[in-house]
Structure 1
């Protein structure tokens, strides 16, 4: 009978481990703060830990939940960031420290993104420019925007291409576009 109890304990223990590891924490990098916030917040909410970051007035502090939230945050940080927040006493303090540090970076990224969107709006094809050269410029802007966490939808790109390509190239653009769709 004791063998059966050991098997049951093992199964229960395994299920607990599987539940804790069901979400992989994203790693915070100097360039991904906004996306990291969305992902880690979702993970903390899914595990019932977000209240440790944004506590409700009616909820008593829960030391175990705070330690679990802290562990999740530490797991998502590279070593140099861990050292910067190691003296923080709770998950909320870690969160606030990271937010303060990255809010400037976030503003810079938003400014860069706005510059890219302006560059996109002002981009026009020159008369002596090839379609491949113009689409390469469009793709470069799109790639840089993707690196900043933003995307241009396909209809916006197609509209841009059709509006600024000289009429003599419209048939070529249409045929290239139809092969991609």
Structure 2
């Protein structure tokens, strides 16, 4: 490891500093995105076991870091070929960087007023494929779905402002207009 290498420990230190000093969420995302790209490029955190995924779910989550207060949640997600997750939000900001393969994200807009528990009307508003090294910064309130359309397991590096199981994160079924809780189980 060279003197200029950017490892996970340095990245976490920078995240702590940015979160403590950023004027607003837009500024925070603008600062975190290039640092997340940089740590992904170094790959010192990457392990072979991160490619494993739950066949029933179609994805796997490997925990890299979470603060004691459940903030600054950093994970690597593996996506089996042809699998992904339905539309969901994070209830916090997020930065995603492609590691291997292509993570196709579809972005959704909520059409209803979010006043009826368990009910949501969504419509797709765009797509973006996150290839290796590409970054996606999502402010709080963003809704997206993910699918791996490649024939191989894909990986992506995710940074969140809070552990997702400690937010009010939701998943959506746009065909049946449903809103449901969305909990993950990181290894």
Q: TM-score, normalised by structure 1?
A: 0.24
Q: Kindly indicate which of the two structures has a greater share of residues assigned to strand.
A: 2
Q: Kindly indicate which of the two structures has a greater share of residues assigned to helix.
A: 1
Bigger relative CO (Cα 8 Å, ≥ 6 apart): 2
